[in-house]
Amino acid sequence: MKIAVLDIEGKDTGRKVSLDDTIFGIEPNDHAIYLDTKQYMANRRQGTHSTKERGDVTGSTRKIKRQKGTGTARFGDIKNPIFRGGGRVFGPRPRFYGFKLNKKIKQLARKSALAYKAKSKSIIVLEDFSFEEPKTRELARLEANLNLAGKKSLIVFPEPNKNVYLSSRNLKDIEVVTSEELNTYIITKASVLILVESAVDVLHSTFKN
């Protein structure tokens, strides 16, 4: 699969890059995408939720009233869950939500996400560029040149580009990542995948290894 390389003005440079069919041309596996996305979101959960159960609530353990002869239900201490201020029954406890996922499944999921983007023609290849200083206006102009207004865009660099990253922080529709940070979740979340030309070779070598 060949894609034309554009410049930052949105014009065709006359060059083309080949996207490896073993990565961008595979039959997508929806279940692998689901598992990898689920693991990514589960790992982001803090899992610090906690409630006080009967043994954690401060209060007297003295029996409130006698067991029999009152005509009402029997009660133990003031920490009874049915009383206001009592303990919570089976409340949440701190826990870790993450789970293990095989590397081959994760790799298949990322390939599948990239294949979906290629099938829908939602991949743009840009020639290498950088900014001399952080300029949100310049990145917004790039977005306009590529007709991406209102679309969630993901720009992939082969290595960190500080000025471009800082320029993107005030733009809600643009996210800048490196090829190492690329994962299934952010690929599927984006409407358009923008690959810097030098990042294509890095992706090829990453997935072939």
Q: How far apart are CA 52 and CA 46, in angstroms?
A: 18
Q: What is the pLDDT of residues 55-110, one digit of tens each?
A: 899 988 899 889 999 898 888 899 999 999 899 999 999 999 999 999 999 999 99
Q: What is the pLDDT of residues 95-152, one digit of tens each?
A: 999 999 999 999 999 999 999 999 999 999 999 999 999 999 999 999 999 998 889 9
Q: Which residue has the tokens 């070779």?
A: 201
Domains in the chain (CATH in brackets) are 2-39+100-208 (3.40.1370.10)
pLDDT at 209: 61
φ/ψ of 178, rounded to 5, equals -95, 165
Q: How far apart are CA 71 and CA 20, in angstroms?
A: 80
What is the pTM (predicted TM-score) of this model?
0.82
Residue 177: strand, helix, or coil = strand
